[in-house]
Structure 1
Amino acid sequence: MAETSQPTPLLDDDALDHLDDFLESDRVNADTLDLVGTHGFLVALAIAPREIEPTVWVGELFQGEPAFADDDERREILGLLELLKNNAINALEQGQLPELPFDLELGGMAPEETPIGDWCAGFMEGVFLDETAWFENDEENAATLLLPFMALSGLFEDEPDMSDFLGDTMQQERLVRQLPELTLDLYLHYRVPPEKPKPSPRKKKPAGRKRAR
């Protein structure tokens, strides 16, 4: 039986800690996503059907321009964000599962009260940044693929379908455990075009017989 490959870290622990310290500092807008939400946001950008300019997503993430100490800190923080996003692209491109910054279990808590809900909420914020691109070509299939992220985020709890979809605690736990695989499924859906069937070789027509005169 083949061993299951370990999820791929998108940043090392020191880089994550440094990014966490900055996002929790008073130099960023109070509405800025925390580290877990930012991770989800950037993974969504790695999957997004079309590229979004850094000036756009950075402005959305920080709700404006943070009070960077100097240009060096600005380059460092923005570089870490870009690295996380690009590492997600590289991992997913190779069919690897991204390592998510939380344990894949709810422990009896509601999803929106856990880092799992924060990550999914950040992921959906990345989707909202260019919602048209995510839904324009195949709205029904896109909605099906995104439904677990929407349900676990807690952003749509007033929608009647969400409570039915989440069902019981066991269903919620199953969805949480599947998040890395669902992330890869989304990447394959949006970023890897389906293989075109190879054209069948043309059959040779039998040579026509000459008519007798």
Structure 2
Amino acid sequence: MQLDQPLTEKEFDELDQFLLGDRSPEDSMTMDHLHGYLTAIAIGPETIMPAEWLPRVWGPDGKQAPKFKNGKEEERIVNLIMRFMNEVLVTFEVAPKEFEPLFVEHEHEGQTLIDAEAWCWGFWEGMELRPGSWDEIWDSEIGELMRPIYLLGADEIEESELPEVEDPLKAHKLALELEANLPTIHKFWVPRRKAAVGTVKREDPKVGRNDDCPCGSGKKYKKCHGADSAA
């Protein structure tokens, strides 16, 4: 199955059921939690490779793993997660204003409200993969746009801020603000986003300072091209 194909409703349900199932670790992310996590990784200040972020889907320390039936099932579930991520990436690339966070709906006093808390927990965990690199947006002129994510997703907030999230109507309003803010947050990072840090492989063996210079002069490296390098 190609990664550029969005999840069908059936596949979405399949991944949802696996994440909630007995064979997934107890601390595995739910779908809304996962969607927030993937969104932070997709639009944030640095490219983060799946080898780093994928293990944390199963638990915050990245050390748990599901009890897959076999390699085929593992490949299937990982493929669904990667395609879920690709949907986020593609939407922000082609139509960021149409991005819809996966919030939960609930009934409150006859009204249908949205609850963005678990989504924001995920976003916060995505930010914590590169905590210092997010400082620039908090300190910028649009830093206030991050406030709904902080209020709903941070591990701790000020006691004076609790009424903003404990009231379902106010939490609903924060969720709407968050959805409206995401395209601007994404836009902020586009020109600043850094590529993934990789390891550069040295093709030639390193020349010691007391080795013969590889240029063929017959001199020691430190007295030939090594002296040029030092200069």
Equivalent residues of 1:97, 1:181 under 8 A apart: no
Equivalent residues of 2:7, 2:84 under 8 A apart: yes
Q: Give the counterpart of 1:30 among 22, 26, 30.
A: 26
Paired letter, 2:188: H
Measure the CA separation in 2 of the matches of 1:116 and 1:100.
Answer: 8
1:174 paired residue number = 173
Measure the CA separation in 1 of the matches of 2:57 and 2:166.
Answer: 32
Cα deviation, 1:67-106, whole Å, max 9, x if unaligned, reads: 2222221121111111111211111122332233335677
Q: Give the counterpart of 2:14 among 9, 15, 18.
A: 18
Name the stretch that deviates more: 27-36 or 165-174. Answer: 165-174
* TM-score, length-scaled by structure 1: 0.70
1:1-213 pair list within 5 angstroms = 11-63=7-59, 64-94=64-94, 95-102=96-103, 107=108, 115-135=115-135, 137-141=136-140, 143-153=143-153, 155-157=155-157, 159-160=158-159, 162-163=161-162, 171-192=170-191
Measure the CA separation in 1 of the matches of 2:138 and 2:89.
Answer: 23
Equivalent residues of 1:24, 1:34 under 8 A apart: yes
Q: What secondary structure is seen at the aligned counterpart in 2 of 1:178?
A: helix
Higher relative contact order (CA 8 A, sep 6+): 1
Equivalent residues of 1:99, 1:180 under 8 A apart: yes
Cα deviation, 1:157-191, whole Å, max 9, x if unaligned, reads: 4x246347669765433322233222222111112
Measure the CA separation in 1 of the matches of 2:168 and 2:26.
Answer: 32
Closer, same or farther in 2 for the Cα pair 1:33/1:129, shift >3 Å?
Answer: same
Which stretches in structure 1 are left out of the alignment for 5+ residues? 1-9, 109-113, 194-213
Measure the CA separation in 1 of the matches of 2:119 and 2:172.
Answer: 15
Measure the CA separation in 1 of the matches of 2:66 and 2:165.
Answer: 37
Paired letter, 1:185: T
1:211 paired residue number = none
Paired letter, 1:173: H
* TM-score, length-scaled by structure 2: 0.66
Name the stretch that deviates more: 121-130 or 137-146. Answer: 137-146
Closer, same or farther in 2 for the Cα pair 1:175/1:65, shift >3 Å?
Answer: same
Percent identical residues: 24
Which stretches in structure 2 are left out of the alignment for 5+ residues? 1-5, 193-231
Deviation at 1:132, TM superposition (A): 1.7
Paired letter, 1:86: N
Paired letter, 1:176: A
Measure the CA separation in 1 of the matches of 2:92 and 2:155.
Answer: 26
Give 1 or 2: higher strand fraction: 2
Paired letter, 1:189: F
Equivalent residues of 2:164, 2:171 under 8 A apart: no
Closer, same or farther in 2 for the Cα pair 1:132/1:67, shift >3 Å?
Answer: same
Alignment RMSD, CA only?
Answer: 2.7
Aligned residue pair count: 177
